[in-house]
């Protein structure tokens, strides 16, 4: 096994070795071919291949996710889309900057600016004035075709639920450190939720969110704001690198269950 290989890749290797499935890892582990007899399946990034194309696209797009959840009456954090002005005035619109400033004015506590697509909390900015907004938008647009702006809210708790066909396989809270974000890459620590009212409420909301976009295997982040739980985002690729440091058996079992579905095992 290659040194430094992601937990996701290690889990797939282990499952395939135990079930007589050949594995061909390409592109530094970001593309994985799995073959058993005439059946070939692929994993790409952190996507194991169980979700439909439209469910994957919706989950990968923060603005589209928020719109779809709102249509279904699922409580969520708003994400307002702004397309990169480099795409042209007919795509981005002529008034994109004025609309950004209007959102900031409507949220005196500040807003959060981040790429419309992407994970791990990269290029996420808390903005409280026009100068910060200009800087954040320029930074995100330098690497992305679009950004989203959300109202800044004081998040009391954040929980991630991993679902497979509406069954919660994992639920854990993200205990943040000194950063205002709950991202695991920003230093937050995963703490398993074994049961109780919080877990039940988060699982129910996560299932509602998954059903709203028709996704089969996903990790769903929900946050508690002013005592109420809301969906923050849905991840079509299920990443559990941080959790695996504390609970490797649980992470392996979760990927095993998903791969059983991939290969149609009961």
> Can you tell me the distance from the alpha carbon of 158 to that of 230, in angstroms, rounded to the nearest whole number?
10
Task: Kindly report the average pLDDT of the chain as a whole number.
Answer: 93
**Residue 77 — φ and ψ, nearest 5°?**
-85, 130
> Can you tell me the distance from the alpha carbon of 54 to that of 75, in angstroms, rounded to the nearest whole number?
21
Q: Answer whether CATH 2.40.110.10 is correct for domain 80-151.
A: no
- Banded model confidence at residue 1, pLDDT cuts 50, 70, 90: very low
Q: Answer whether CATH 3.40.190.10 is correct for domain 53-77+154-258.
A: no
Q: Where are the domains of the chain?
A: 7-49, 53-77+154-258, 80-151
**Residue 146 — φ and ψ, nearest 5°?**
-160, 155
Question: For 233-251, how does the pLDDT look when each residue is reduced to its tens digit (9 = 90+)?
Answer: 999 999 999 999 999 999 9
Q: What is the pLDDT of residue 154?
A: 93
Handedness of CA 85, 86, 91, 93 (dihedral sign): positive
Q: What is the pLDDT of residue 163?
A: 98
Tokens at 70, concatenated: 């709102």
Mean pLDDT score, 45-49: 95
Q: What is the pLDDT of residue 178?
A: 63
> Can you tell me the distance from the alpha carbon of 64 to that of 81, in angstroms, rounded to the nearest whole number?
9
∠ CA 249-255-261, nearest 5°, is 135
Mean pLDDT score, 124-147: 96
> Can you tell me the distance from the alpha carbon of 216 to that of 210, in angstroms, rounded to the nearest whole number?
7
Q: What is the 3 state secondary structure string of the chain?
A: CCCCCCHHHHHHHHHHHHCCCEEEEEHHHCEEEEEECCEEEEEECCECCCCCHHHHHHHHCHHHHHHHHHHCCCCECCCEEEECHHHCHHHHCCCHHHHHHHHHHHCCCCEEEEECCCCCCCCCEEECCHHHHHHHHHHHHCCCCEEEEEECCCCCEEEEEEEECCEEEEEEEEECCCCCCCCHHHCCEEEECCCCHHHHHHHHHHHHHHHHHCCCEEEEEEEEECCEEEEEEEECCCCCHHHHCCCHHHHHHHHHHHHHHHCCCC
Question: For 172-200, how does the pLDDT look when each residue is reduced to its tens digit (9 = 90+)?
Answer: 999 876 675 556 655 688 999 988 999 99
Which range has the worst mean pLDDT, 45-59, 75-89, 99-113, 168-182?
Answer: 168-182
Residues 6 or more apart whose CB falls under 8 angstroms from that of 136 comprise: 113, 125, 127
């Amino acid at each position: 096994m290659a040194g430094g290989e992601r937990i996701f890749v290690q889990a797939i290797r282990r499952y395939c070795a135990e079930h007589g499935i050949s594995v061909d890892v390409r592109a530094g582990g970001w593309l994985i071919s799995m073959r058993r007899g005439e059946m070939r399946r692929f994993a790409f990034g952190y996507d194991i291949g169980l979700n439909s194309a439209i469910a994957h696209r919706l989950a990968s797009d923060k603005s589209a996710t928020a719109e779809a959840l709102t249509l279904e009456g699922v409580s969520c954090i708003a994400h307002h889309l702004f397309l990169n002005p480099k795409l042209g005035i007919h795509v981005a619109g002529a008034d994109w900057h004025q609309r950004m400033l209007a959102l900031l004015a409507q949220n005196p506590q500040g807003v959060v600016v981040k790429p419309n697509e992407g994970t791990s909390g990269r290029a996420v900015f808390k903005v409280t004035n026009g100068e910060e907004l200009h800087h954040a938008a320029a930074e995100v647009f330098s690497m992305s075709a679009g950004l989203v702006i959300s109202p800044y809210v004081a998040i009391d708790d954040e929980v991630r639920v991993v679902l497979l066909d509406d069954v919660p396989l994992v639920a854990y809270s993200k205990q943040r450190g000194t950063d205002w974000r709950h991202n695991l890459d920003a230093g937050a620590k995963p703490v398993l939720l074994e049961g109780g009212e919080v877990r039940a409420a988060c699982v129910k909301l996560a299932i509602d969110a998954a059903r709203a976009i028709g996704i089969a295997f996903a990790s769903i982040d929900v946050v508690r704001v002013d005592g109420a739980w809301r969906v923050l985002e849905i991840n079509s690729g299920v990443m559990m690198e941080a959790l695996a440091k504390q609970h490797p058996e649980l992470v392996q079992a979760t990927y095993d269950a998903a791969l059983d579905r991939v290969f149609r095992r009961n």
